[in-house]
Amino acid sequence: CYSDGKIILNRTICRLSPRLISFIVFHELLHMRFRNHGREFREAIRRRFPDYRDINRSFRLYGLRLLGD
């Protein structure tokens, strides 16, 4: 998410599972409210995706990392 609110998604995410795509979109939209990965951001992620650690493990299989454990 850019400071002007623009979100650009790489088209290769289409190859991911719907669950991972949902996480990426939510993650980017959440940056419109929280500009970093601080406590409030992480809490919002956990509320929407209680299995976020499993999701992060899946991303690592693809060589991606979006949110620290």
pLDDT digits (tens, 9 = 90+) for 6-56: 888 888 888 888 999 999 999 999 999 998 899 999 999 999 999 999 998
Task: Give the pLDDT score at 66.
Answer: 54
Structure tokens at 3: 């400071």
Distance, CA of 39 to CA of 9 (rounded, Å) = 24
Q: Closest by alpha carbon to 49, among 16, 69, 21, 23?
A: 23
Q: How does residue 1 score in pLDDT terms, banded at 50, 70 and 90?
A: low
- Looking at residue 69, what is its pLDDT? 44
pTM: 0.80
67: pLDDT strictly greater than 80:
no
Structure confidence at residue 43 (pLDDT): 96
